[in-house]
Structure 1
C-alpha cells in the first residue's frame, strides 16, 4: 500500500515552531482527516505534505521515496493535487476555463456530474462566485486532474450540509490518497462504509494527540466540540 508520510516533521515560521516532530501516514486508496482548532498545525501539516512550506527538520516520504527537498511544482507534476483553503481557483477566468485547464483528458462532464450547480455558472468569472461555489469549482478541478494524491484544506467551507455530504462521498470514492484538513470531524465519517479507509489525526499545538479510526473517537470529545474562533 502506498502512503504519504510526515516523519518527525518540524516547521518554523520565523522564531515560532508550528510543528513539533509530527508523524503521520496517509494510506492509498483512502481518506485521512487532519483535525484541530485554529493554530493546531493541521493546515501547516497539509502544506508540508504539499511542499508549499519547507521543513526545518524531519522528512516527507511519498511512496517510500524521500521528497522533502522536491519542490511543490514537481510534486504536482508527479501526481499530487493540492487545493488550498484560499485562492484555489483562477478568479479572472470563467468557470468553464477553470475546468478546461484542469482536465487531464476528455471533457469536463464528470465535474458537472459531481456538482451540477456549476452548469449554469460556466460563463461566470470564478472570482464572482460565492465561497461555496468556489469550493465546488476547486474540488471539481481536483476531480478532473485524476491525481493519485489529493490534499484539500477545508473542502466543504461555505457549502450547504447536503453538498458537503456529497463532497465527502466523492472524496471517499476516489481511488487515491486523499488528505483533508478540517477544524472538526465531518458528520457521517464515524460510520463505516465503502471500501475507502478513513484515518483521523487530531493535532493540538503542533503535535499529534490522537491517531486512529473515526469510530474510536469518544462522543462529545474534543473533536465533536464547536471550533474555536480567532
Structure 2
C-alpha cells in the first residue's frame, strides 16, 4: 500500500485558537486509517482539512503526489473524495429512497449492505434514528465509489452487530478510507489498519492498530497493583 492522501505540517486555526499544530500523516490506498482522539483532539478538523472544508493556515494537503491545498472542496469531491460528517450527513427533508437516488447507480448495493433500510425507503431521513441515519449516510458513500472516503464516527448509534458489519464494509472498499473515532473500535477488520492518535491538535502515536493495543495493554499492566 502506498500513501494516496496526506497532510504535511498542517496547521488550522479557528479564530484565535489553533486546532492543528503542524501535524503530518499519510493514509494508504487501499487501506483503512483510524484517527483516534477525544473531543477537541483535532480529529474532525483533520478530516475537514483533507476534504477542503477547513482551510490550512500553514502546511500542505497532498493527493496522489499533487499539492491540492488550494483546490476547493467541491473540486476534491468531483475528483473522488467523499466526506461523511458526524452531523447533517443526510438530507432530512427527503425520503430514504430520494437520498439514495441522489447518488448515481442502482441503490441495490446499499440496501444489500444495510437491509434495515428497505422498510424505511418512504420515510423522511430526518425522522430516522441516529443509527439509521448513519446507515443511510454510509450507504450513499458506498454507492459513490469514491477514491477517498472520510467518515466522522461511522458507527455512532449503531448496534454492535451493525457496527461490525459497517467496519467490514469499509475495510473491503477498494479506496483510501479514513475514519475518526473516540476509541479504537473493537470491530476493526483483521487486515492491517493504520492508526494516528491525536491529542490537543498533535499526533502522539502513529502505527498499526495491533501496536496500539499492545502498548495500551502494557500501560494497564504497569498501572495495576
- What TM-score bracket applies, with the shorter chain setting the length? over 0.9
Alpha-carbon separation, structure 1, partners of 2:212 and 2:102: 40
Shift of 1:188: 3.5
Note if contact 2:38-2:182 (Cα within 8 Å) is conserved in structure 1. Answer: yes
Partner residue, 1:49: 50
Shift of 1:2: 4.7
Partner residue, 2:40: 39
Aligned residue for 1:215, secondary structure, equals helix
Q: Match for 1:203 among 190, 198, 205? A: 198
Alignment of 1:1-230 (within 5 A): 1-102=2-103, 104-105=104-105, 107-189=106-188, 192-193=190-191, 197-219=192-214, 221=216
Gaps of 5+ in 2: 221-225
Alpha-carbon separation, structure 1, partners of 2:187 and 2:123: 33
Alpha-carbon separation, structure 2, partners of 1:163 and 1:220: 28
Moved over 2 A (4+): 218-222
Shift of 1:192: 3.2
Shift of 1:3: 1.1
Residue deviations 1:111-157 (CA, integer Å, cap 9, x gap): 00000000000000000000000000000000000111100000000
Gaps of 5+ in 1: 226-230
Residue deviations 1:38-58 (CA, integer Å, cap 9, x gap): 110011111100111000000
Alpha-carbon separation, structure 2, partners of 1:2 and 1:89: 29
Aligned residue for 1:184, secondary structure, equals coil
Alpha-carbon separation, structure 2, partners of 1:6 and 1:220: 25
RMSD: 1.6
Note if contact 2:51-2:83 (Cα within 8 Å) is conserved in structure 1. Answer: yes
